[in-house]
Structures are given as structure tokens and as C-alpha cells.
Amino acid sequence: MTRLQLPTEDRELSPYTGWTREHWAAVADHLLLSLRPYFSAERARVLPPGRSSAYGTDSDGLEGFARSFLLFGFRLVGENGADPYGFLDWYRAGLIAGTDPASPSQERWPRPDELGQAKVEAASIALILGMTRQWLWETLTPVQQQNVIAWLATVVGQEYPPTNWLWFRVTVETFLASVGGPFSSTDVHADLALFESLYREHGWYSDGPERSFDYYCGWAMQFYPTLWAQSSGSAEFGAAALDPVWRSRLSEFLDDYIALIGADGVPVLQGRSLIYRFAAAAPLWVGAATGATSLPHGVLRRGASGILKAFITRDALESRGLLTLGLFGEWPDMAQSYSGSGSPYWAAKGMYGLALPASHPVWTAIEEPLPIERGDVSRVIAAPGWVVSGTQSDGIVRVANHGTDHASLGDQTTDAPLYARFGYSSATMPPLVGSTLLSPVDNAVSVLDPSGRASHRTGFVPLGAGVLDVDGGAGAGGAAGAGAGGAAWATSRADAHWVEVADDGPDHGSGRRGTVTVGPRVTVASAVRGAWEVRVVRVELDGDAISDVGGSVRLRLSGWPLTGPDAPTVAAGADPAAAGPDARSGAASAGAAGAGAAASVRVGELESVLAVADRDAAAEVHRAERVSPLGPHTAVPQLTLDSVPGQPVAVVVGLGRGLTDAPTVQVLAGRGGHVVEIRWSDGAQSRLELQAPQ
């Protein structure tokens, strides 16, 4: 296969990315053509080289077919049936062989009633059969159609987990209803009721009953509903009444979602299944296709093209033109146990825009800037408990997390690195393997047990989030959702705990279970403005908890992890100036003279700083090798200190390029709790109240 050949960039139509529909089409065709050597003889299975999933190669071969079938279908629809590379013949042959019960075992697909993963892949097949009806379904013989119907119909009455999987059964049974096949109204209405139960607020759904907020909220929970409502067969299930509600929610969701994309096109790196990469663009295209958004077409395409370009230009495709298990390059360790070599092709969802013709306004509009390209972003996203802070100067989007852990209130598991950290960004990623699974090392507030093992926070109690007033100063006056100077806060409380892991089950992104030892209660508040966070920590003890931690409380606070191709530049010491010259004055004046500590990490122009100025602390930098898909070398600034029960400690946490002076902080006793007074580097001031324990 030849290397990907892209058209010349068009900076008039696309002043931010240079990419047009022709670029998207070139990438799609390259992806499809690169898979041809890996089709089975009868073309029913597509099995690129790579590791197998926990479900085996029968599942993986079906997955490779079904997920690339999505991309083929979008491409065919957008070209109104034009098919210069003959993809239609390949996928028709594979569909026929895969659903023919007389096919050889190496071609016949495992049925959804035989293999759980087939329930997922059946939805992609049904979706595209509905979209390409005139070019594919209607060209099959009656016998072939009946074979397809019989294979799909094994979903009827099957159990599905209460997650985004509900849409797989709805999609399949609705297609079956449209072609005279068997279906269950009970199934569909139960799934639609479940979907409604997963709605939270302001356009957001949780991917299941837990606090599961991640990209499944976009590439699944916001991808299927409005498309389904427009599909043949959906009317008899009440689509006409549901669609306006869903469209309104999609619009609200996209207002938040667009703010989570960095200026370089990389979305905030959080949540499982990130191997799907540019699938993150899917809800933007659905907004464009349905008009269910307040965002201009030029912004939608800017966001989507930025995401695709970011991954394609950062080696998402290996030398044979294949998507691998990884993020930018190949890094299989980041994949969940359900991921096989064909799994990454769910990235096809992010190419749904190709189903829209070249004349569609989303393709003809001139690109417009992302929120982060118009100015600094400060935004509270209530459902996942996120405070978003983006800085125009370096294009980085950060999230302070006080609401998401892929668990339920009161659960006591290990912290899942991609869910339970206090911070995520478009420029960093938590270490994903090694000791961090049992003892968190980045963006954590941990109690250390006598052996030095760090506690976990999963199951914490969110205590709220909101806009933080900013008084005075050169940049003051911004509000949540827009503008330079905007600031926000969020707070949560957790029962620190340690887990002797006994869970050796499949990895679906959650923390691990085992024997739990409970420690003290810890309240953490974040005040966020620009590149800086003031993180306030208060330990709350009773007699039993003191006994559990050996009579004293030792805290380890950690900052942003930086990863690069070479060993990061680090500094640490019992002097706030160790944070580096750019942060020196703010950190040094934050508290009592003669006390304090700081640590910093630098990779290129990107810097991570963690500093405390009003108490003694041990500053260090945690180093690890090959724990992140972003590169071989990772380093994290950390502070270790003794806590005084009931007395908060405030640290400043910074991430950015060209960091300016850190904020200064003073914690005062107040009526019913504590008051945190913050002076930001431009002279503006904020006050954050930390209520007494309940």
C-alpha cells in the first residue's frame, strides 16, 4: 500500500486546519484500501495484524469487518452511490458469506446470541444497511436477505448491559422492523426508557448508571439517537416525539463539547477506549447533519478537522496504512481487554461527516475558530463535575475533575487512571500501567499508609461546582463559559482507602476491587483560572481513622504528568523557587517566610509546576518509563507533607507553556469553615469558601 497522499491544503476555505472534504475522503479511502490485504478469502472477516482481544479472533475478524463497514457506508452515501474503488462488491460479498449458515467456519460470523461482542458489531451492520439500502440491501437475493435477517434477529430478547449498548439493540431491531424481520417492541421501548434514565443534565448522559462520563457520551450516546429518529422504522417507536428532546440535548452537549478541544486539535485525553481516536469528532458531525446545534458550521468542521488532522499527522496510521492499538503511534498497553486489532476502526464514527455531500454547508462554510482560539475559556460542566480552563496563549484545555470516577457514590475501588484523577488535559495523559494502578502518582491527593502506598478516592462525594468571582486585576471580568479572566471552582470529599486487589476480571476501564482499608476523609477544593489551579486539601479524622494510618497523617500531593521522547528536565527542593524562574515570585510569596517547597517538570516548552509556601514539605519528581502512549519518559512533580487534621493546606498547580507568576494564597478560619483568599498574577482576587465537615 502506498503512503497516504493528501491534497494541497486550502487556507482560504479552512484557515485553521487547511483541510477540506477532499482531505477527509483521501484519509477514508486510504484506510479502506489499506485493509484489503487482511480480508478473508470470502471477505467476511477483516483481521489486521496485532494482538487478539479477550474474545478471540472470531470476534476480532467480525469487528474488523463491521467497523470498516461503517466507513464504507458513510463514504458511499456521501457520494450518492459512486464507488470508484469497488468497495461495494467487497463488502457485499463479505455480508453474504458472514451471514450464510452454510459458509465455512472461518467465514461465518458468530451470532449475537453466541458472542456478546457480536451484539455491538451487529449495530454497525444494521446502521449501514439502512443508510445504503438502495445500493446494497435491495441488491441482495431474497435468500441472502433472509440470512442477514436471521443473523441480526438473534439479538431479539437478548440481555444487554445498561450502557451505550442499549443503542445497539435499538438500531438492529429498528432495521429489522423496517425490512419485515422479527423484532420486539418490548425490547425497544425498554431500551429507550433506559436511555432516558441515563440522562443527567445540560445535554449530558452517563454511559451507564455509574458516573461514567467519557467519549462514549459523544460517539455513542449522542451519535445514535437523532440518527435513529430519522431512520426507516423508528416512527412506530415514537421517534417523532423523542427527536425534539434529543436535538435540544445534543445542542447543549455540543456547547460544552467544543470547549474540550485543544487548539492543536487534540481533545482532552480522558476515559477508556481512546484507541478510537478521531471517533471523538462524531457528535460534531451529527450536529451538522441534523442542525441540532447552535454552533456555526465553520466551527463544527474546524473542530472535526482539527481532531482528524491531529491524529493523522501524529502517526495514528502505521506504515501499512493501518490504525493500531494506541493513541498517536502504536501502544497496545492502553487498550482495554475487549480491544483487538480491528477495534480501532470504530474511529470510523468520527468520519460520519463524509455521509454529507460536498454541497452541504458544513463543507462549504469557511472554518471559524474554536472557543480556545477566540480567548481563554472558563466553563463549568455540571454533569461530569468538570471545571474547564483553556488558555489561548498555549492552546491547552485543562479539566479539574470533581465528579467523574467510572463508579458509583460510595464505591471503594482503586482509582482508574483515565477517570478518577483530579486533572486531565489536551496536552497530558496519566501514566496507565505499572505501580500507578495501585498507588496513584499524578494529579492525586493521597494519604500515605505506613508503607508509603497512596490511597484512592473513587466513590467520592461531589460537593458542587460554579463560577468563581474575580475582582479587579488586568484580566478580570470573565465569566464561566467565555472570556479572559474567568475562573471557576469545584469541590469533592472522599474516604481515602487502600485496596488489596483481588479483581482479575476483564478491564473495561474501571478501578479494581479487593479488600479495602479505610482511612481519613479528605476534602479537596479546586479554584481554577487560566493555567493555574489552587488546590486546597483538608484532612478530617476520627479516632478509628487515626489508628488506620498509624497515628499520623502523611499526604502526597501530585501535579500534572509530562511525557516526552527524552528525559524531562526536572527541579525540586525545599524552596518555592525550585518551581522555576517563571513561577518563582508567586510561589515564594504564598505563605510564611522560610517555609515551602516546589517541584517542576519541563518537556520542551511545556511545564508542570507544583508548589506550597506555608509549610515544610518534601519535594520530588516521580519518574517512570514507558507508562504513557505519549512517549517513553514520564515525570510528575510531587510534594509530601504532614497534615494537621482540620487545617487546610493549599498548593498551586500549574500546567502550560510560558507559565507566568503563580497565584498567592492565604487560608483563613471563617464562620463554619475556612476561606481561601487568592491573588492571581495580574492582581485580581478571588475568595473560595471551604465549608466545615458535615
Burial of 87 (0-12, 13-18, 19+ CB in 10 A): buried
Say if residues 443 and 559 touch (Cβ distance below 8 Å).
yes
What is the rounded distance in angstroms from the CA atom of residue 431 to the CA atom of residue 187?
Answer: 40
Q: Above pLDDT 90, what percent of the chain?
A: 86
* Banded pLDDT at 577 (limits 50, 70, 90): low
pLDDT top residue among 201 and 586: 201
Q: What is the pLDDT of residue 221?
A: 98
Say if residues 171 and 224 touch (Cβ distance below 8 Å).
yes
What is the rounded distance in angstroms from the CA atom of residue 222 to the CA atom of residue 226?
Answer: 8
Q: What string of DSSP letters covers 66-119?
A: HHHHHHHHHHHHHTTT--TT-HHHHHHHHHHHHH-TTS-TTTSPPPTTT-HHHH
What is the rounded distance in angstroms from the CA atom of residue 425 to the CA atom of residue 268?
Answer: 5
Say if residues 169 and 190 touch (Cβ distance below 8 Å).
no
| Mean pLDDT score, 416-435 | 97
Burial of 83 (0-12, 13-18, 19+ CB in 10 A): middle
| Mean pLDDT score, 615-625 | 95
Q: What is the pLDDT of residue 575?
A: 63
Compute the chain's Rg from CA coordinates.
Answer: 26
Say if residues 404 and 386 touch (Cβ distance below 8 Å).
yes
What is the rounded distance in angstroms from the CA atom of residue 354 to the CA atom of residue 357?
Answer: 7
Q: What is the pLDDT of residues 319-343, one digit of tens each?
A: 999 999 999 999 999 988 888 999 9
Is residue 28 over pLDDT 50?
yes
Residues contacting 150, CB < 8 A, separation 6+:
99, 101
Least confident of 177-181, 409-413, 478-482: 478-482
Q: What is the pLDDT of residue 502?
A: 84
Is residue 57 over pLDDT 80?
yes
149 phi and psi angles, rounded to 5 deg: -60, -45
State in Å, rounded, how far the first CA of the chain is from the last one: 64
Q: What is the pLDDT of residues 260-284, one digit of tens each?
A: 999 999 999 999 999 999 999 999 9
How does DSSP classify residue 264? T
Is residue 547 over pLDDT 90?
no
Q: What is the pLDDT of residues 485-539, one digit of tens each?
A: 799 999 999 999 999 998 776 777 889 999 999 999 999 999 999 999 999 999 9
Least confident of 276-290, 483-497, 608-622: 483-497
Say if residues 348 and 342 touch (Cβ distance below 8 Å).
no
Say if residues 547 and 520 touch (Cβ distance below 8 Å).
no
CA 418 to chain centroid: 8
| Mean pLDDT score, 53-58 | 90
- Crossing angle for the helix pair 57-78 and 21-35, nearest 10 degrees? 150
Element (H, E) at 517: strand 514-529
Could you tell me the three cell numbers for 681? Answer: 498574577
Q: What is the pLDDT of residue 337?
A: 85
Is residue 69 over pLDDT 90?
yes
Sign of the four-CA dihedral 529, 455, 200, 223:
positive
| Mean pLDDT score, 244-265 | 98
* Banded pLDDT at 694 (limits 50, 70, 90): low
Strands 606-612 and 649-657: antiparallel
Burial call 166-183: b when 16+ CB within 10 Å, e when fewer: bbbbbbbbbbbbbbebeb
Helix ranges (H only) for 523-583 are 543-548
| Mean pLDDT score, 134-161 | 97
Could you tell me the three cell numbers for 95? Answer: 455480508
- Crossing angle for the helix pair 142-152 and 166-178, nearest 10 degrees? 150
Burial of 433 (0-12, 13-18, 19+ CB in 10 A): middle
Is residue 589 over pLDDT 50?
no
What is the rounded distance in angstroms from the CA atom of residue 133 to the CA atom of residue 139?
Answer: 9
Q: Quick one: the chain helix, strand, coil %, rounded to 5?
A: 30, 25, 45
CA 371 to chain centroid: 18
Say if residues 444 and 424 touch (Cβ distance below 8 Å).
no
Is residue 295 over pLDDT 70?
yes
What is the rounded distance in angstroms from the CA atom of residue 6 to the CA atom of residue 25?
Answer: 9
Could you tell me the three cell numbers for 180? Answer: 419485515
* Cell 443527567 belongs to residue: 200
Least confident of 27-36, 52-61, 128-137, 597-606: 52-61
Is residue 587 over pLDDT 60?
no
* Banded pLDDT at 541 (limits 50, 70, 90): confident
What is the rounded distance in angstroms from the CA atom of residue 616 to the CA atom of residue 575?
Answer: 9
| Mean pLDDT score, 281-290 | 98
Say if residues 267 and 214 touch (Cβ distance below 8 Å).
no
Q: Above pLDDT 70, what percent of the chain?
A: 93
Is residue 482 over pLDDT 80?
no
Strand, helix or coil at 635? strand
Sign of the four-CA dihedral 62, 65, 69, 70:
positive
Q: Which residues pair with 514 in a beta bridge?
A: 501
Residue among 198, 190, 194 nearest 237 (CA): 190
Burial of 542 (0-12, 13-18, 19+ CB in 10 A): exposed
Could you tell me the three cell numbers for 18? Answer: 487547511
Is residue 574 over pLDDT 90?
no
Is residue 185 over pLDDT 70?
yes
Q: What is the dihedral of CA 163, 201, 291, 27, to 10 degrees?
A: -50
* Banded pLDDT at 579 (limits 50, 70, 90): low
Q: What is the pLDDT of residue 586?
A: 37
Least confident of 151-165, 383-397, 433-447, 669-683: 669-683
* Banded pLDDT at 669 (limits 50, 70, 90): confident
Neighbours of 218 (CB within 10 A): 26
| Mean pLDDT score, 162-183 | 98
Could you tell me the three cell numbers for 634? Answer: 514520564
* Banded pLDDT at 206 (limits 50, 70, 90): very high
Least confident of 501-510, 560-569, 616-625, 633-642: 501-510
Residue among 160, 57, 146, 69 nearest 110 (CA): 57
Amino acid at 264: D
Domains and CATH numbers, the chain: 21-372 (1.50.10), 375-501+512-691 (2.70.98)
Is residue 289 over pLDDT 70?
yes
Q: What is the pLDDT of residue 1?
A: 60
Q: What is the pLDDT of residue 691?
A: 84
Q: What is the pLDDT of residue 366?
A: 98
Strand, helix or coil at 414? coil
- The most distant pair of C-alpha atoms in the chain lies apart, rounded to whole Å, by 85
Say if residues 603 and 622 touch (Cβ distance below 8 Å).
no
Could you tell me the three cell numbers for 261? Answer: 478541544
Amino acid at 42: E
Q: What is the pLDDT of residue 542?
A: 62
